[in-house]
């Protein structure tokens, strides 16, 4: 993707449609090391979804993350163009918040795109989170890890009511968020779309292979998915390697994990 993240992310303001992305472009010096800020920033992606039920699921999750006082900013990588008619973009301007930032991208983001974006714009604790999931106040537990000292790459398994089921259960292999200190130091292979089938266990395999201590503190930190619409645009699985990371309590470090040879059922 050519010059995908050349421009500075824009705040979501009422006048965003009239603005041009990149008016105040910022470039980091290759020799500078930004100071790590003890704050949490979510990075997610959205697109011009047309199904009303699915739109409501995205907006409901986003609203809950906005209301979470532990989350400082939410950066949205939006697949589309700034002047494209979109109900989601229209609804985003209705949120009364200064937490939102948006960058427009040409196609679905790979993990490498996401890491490149984080490395350029963020110097804090970053959480790459699927758009239909939200975090509650249990997120405060994440600071029990030493993010400045330890080489940690984390995931969170989702509590989800799959399709039309009423009960919401923790699904161990279904990761909806990835936690890392940005800028990321050890390169992670990411030449695959990060939010499609199998990418969750592929990402953890690549982080493990890169030498990170991997964690999945989903028994203490709750990530909840809102997805009862049955709408899904994913059809292809991301290829191996795969690695299953067992949910655990904060006191367990690093996590138990094992190579996975077959796709989750």
The per-residue DSSP string of 160-175 comes to E--TT-S--EEEEEEE
Of the two residues 39 and 30, the one the predictor is more confident about is 39
- What is the average pLDDT across 76-86? 81
- What is the average pLDDT across 107-130? 92
pLDDT in tens, 127-177: 999 999 999 999 999 999 999 888 999 999 999 865 445 567 888 888 999
pLDDT for 10 equals: 60
Of the two residues 33 and 167, the one the predictor is more confident about is 167
Tell me which H or E stretch contains 245.
strand 242-245
35-260 — its CATH code? 3.90.550.10
Q: Using CA atoms of 39, 97, 107, 84 in order, give the dihedral in degrees to the nearest 10.
A: -170
Write down the pTM of the prediction: 0.85
């Amino acid at each position: 993707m050519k010059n995908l993240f050349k421009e500075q992310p824009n705040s979501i303001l009422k006048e965003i449609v009239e603005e041009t992305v990149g008016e105040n472009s910022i470039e980091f010096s290759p020799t500078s090391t930004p100071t790590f800020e003890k704050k949490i920033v979510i990075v997610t992606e959205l697109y011009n979804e047309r199904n009303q039920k699915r739109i409501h699921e995205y907006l409901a999750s986003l609203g809950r993350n906005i209301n979470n006082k532990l989350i400082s900013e939410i950066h949205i990588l939006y697949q589309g163009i700034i002047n494209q008619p979109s109900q989601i973009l229209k609804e985003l301007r209705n949120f009364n918040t200064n937490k939102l930032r948006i960058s427009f991208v040409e196609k679905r983001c790979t993990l490498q795109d996401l890491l490149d974006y984080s490395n350029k714009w963020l110097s804090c604790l970053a959480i790459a989170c699927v758009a239909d999931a939200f975090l509650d106040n249990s997120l405060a537990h994440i600071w029990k890890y030493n993010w400045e000292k330890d080489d940690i790459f984390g995931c969170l398994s989702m509590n989800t009511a799959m399709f039309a089921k009423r009960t919401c259960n923790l699904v161990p292999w279904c990761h909806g968020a990835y936690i890392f200190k940005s800028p990321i130091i050890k390169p992670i292979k990411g030449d695959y779309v990060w939010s499609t089938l199998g990418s969750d266990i592929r990402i953890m395999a690549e982080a493990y292979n890169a030498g990170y201590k991997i964690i999945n503190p989903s028994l203490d930190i709750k990530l909840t998915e809102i997805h009862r619409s049955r709408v899904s645009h994913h059809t292809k699985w991301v290829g191996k390697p795969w690695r299953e990371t067992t949910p655990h309590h904060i006191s367990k470090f690093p996590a138990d994990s094992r190579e996975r040879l077959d796709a989750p059922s």
